[in-house]
Structure 1
Amino acid sequence: MAYSNERKASVIAKMLPPHNLSLRQLSREEGISEGTLSRWRAEARAQGKLLPDGQSGPKGWTARDKFAVVVETAALNEAELSEYCRERG
């Protein structure tokens, strides 16, 4: 089954903070298989998006995701870091 880009983007947004929904929960709510959701998450990560994994680490972030955030925010000043945190949880 093909899903529109808008639907896919909407579902991927639910994987991000502040929602951080697990694939299992999203699958139940959206009626989309966990395999499809996993593929979408992998594709988004390949594009550089930081998506938590509800199955690992504190608050669902993998060590790789945490490291990527540290690298991404290392050069930000306090105001920029605050904005970053508000946007991404």
Structure 2
Amino acid sequence: MKHYSAQRKESALQKMMPPSNISITQLSIEMGIGESTLYNWRKQAVNKGHLVPGDGKNAEQWSSANKFSVVLETASLNQAELAEYCRNKGLYAEQIVAWRSACMDANANVKEQEKTFIIEAKKDKKQINQLEKELLRKDRALAETAALLVLRKKANAIWGEIEDE
């Protein structure tokens, strides 16, 4: 098992972070460090609370958890600090504002969504009941047809085939 210096580990983590945001596969080739090692380092950094997407995606393709982390990190910053943060992370202030509003609106229409859900659930329940009734009717018709076929076979076996004259 190789041991890497703290400087090399920090360098790799910096390359994984925005604005570079190099994918782990590419970074592994570039630095000659195994992918599993890089994944472990990224996991440790995320567990410590650092924002490290490291998947080569631009900021709009980040997961909602990473976007939420940025919103939390920037919540208490003023405009100058926010601008500095954005430069360091390779983000735009407009992106953070949009993400913040999305977070705030996430639970805004809960009552309306519940009402819509209840209405749709009632419609679905009504349709299910209708389909169950139709299925029951068809099952009964099929059972009746099967019974008639069995009786016809028995009658033919007892009296023979009816011949047309």
TM-score range, shorter chain: 0.7 to 0.9
TM-score relative to the length of structure 1: 0.88
Unaligned runs of 5+ in 1: none
List, as ranges, runs of 4+ consecutive aligned residues in structure 1 with deviation greater than 6 Å.
none
**Structure 2 unmatched runs, 5+:** 91-165
Distance verdict in 2 for CA 1:8–1:47, change over 3 Å: same
Report the CA distance between 1:2 and its aligned residue: 0.6
Higher relative contact order (CA 8 A, sep 6+): 1
> Conserved in 1, the CA contact under 8 Å of 2:17 and 2:54?
no
Q: TM-score, normalised by structure 2?
A: 0.50
- 1:4 Cα shift? 0.6
What residue is the counterpart of 1:34 in the other structure?
Answer: 35
Query: 2:66 — aligned with what?
Result: 65
Q: Among the aligned pairs, what percent are the same residue?
A: 49
Select between 66-75 and 34-43 the one with higher mean Cα deviation.
Answer: 66-75
Cα distance in 1, alignment partners of residues 44 and 22 from structure 2: 17
Distance 1:57 1:20, change over 3 A: closer
Q: What's the C-alpha RMSD, in Å, of the aligned pairs?
A: 1.8
Query: Quick check: which has more Rg, 1 or 2?
Result: 2
| Cross-structure match for 2:86 | 85
**1:14 partner SS:** helix
Aligned length: 89
1:64–1:43 distance in 2 versus 1, CA, 3 Å: same
Q: Is residue 2 from structure 1 mapped to residue 3 from structure 2 by the alignment?
A: yes
